[in-house]
Structure 1
Amino acid sequence: MSHTVEWKIRLDIFEDDEGTTKAHMVLDTGTAALSGHGSAHCHPADMNVPEIGDELAAGRATRDLAQQLLNIAERDIGAVGAPPQGARHAIGWPT
């Protein structure tokens, strides 16, 4: 059973007037779109390194999106009659 798909991800990163870096990530699967959000704020006592804020905000948006995907997968696994995650054996969809 061969299966190939292409999902597209768009990531926008911007800094607002208060110094908060925000990331907005959109995953387009072709049939659905999910959005992840993340932010980072430089402490006033820290050196301002924009790349670090970008990395933190993008990482947090990615983590948000990843958790949404895992939640959807768990729901879909249950919808096809698989037992809940704690009741699964070593076969099937491992964590």
Structure 2
Amino acid sequence: MPTLVGWHVELEFTEEGQRTSAAAMVRLGDGSEMRAHGYAMRHPSDPEQLRVGEEIAGARALMDLASQMLQKAHSEIDEATGRHSYPISH
């Protein structure tokens, strides 16, 4: 089955002291872009593990992107059908 569309997701991380920040951006097939941020804080007594902070901050940014994408999709469904659509919770 051929690929019809691809999405491009970018994640960038910064670390300042005990705080790791992630900036996420997705470029969708319709040309629209969505951006989100996620953060992680390391407790002063925890060992320094940059990868763990990146994973947590990145996951939070991606969860925010996922939420925005669901909202966009449901808005498009509502506009096309004239009805209010409801996301299914998992």
The 5 A counterparts of 1:44-63 are 44-63=44-63
Unaligned 5+ segments in structure 2 are: none
CA distance in 2, matches of 1:34, 1:63: 12
State the partner residue of 2:41: 41
Shift of 1:83: 3.5
**Could you state the TM-score of these two structures normalised by the residue count of structure 1?**
0.79
8 A contact 2:18–2:43 mirrored in 1: no
Amino acid at match of 1:76: E
Larger radius of gyration: 1
Are 2:9 and 1:9 aligned?
A: yes
State the partner residue of 2:20: 21
Count of matched residue positions in the alignment of Structure 1 and Structure 2: 86
Instruction: Encode CA deviations 1:27-74: one digit per residue, 9 max, x unaligned.
Output: 112511110110101011222211110100000010010000000011
Q: Compute the RMSD of aligned alpha carbons.
A: 2.0
Shift of 1:81: 1.2
Unaligned 5+ segments in structure 1 are: 87-93
Structure 1 segments of 4+ aligned residues over 3 angstroms from their partners:
none
- Aligned identity (percent) is 30
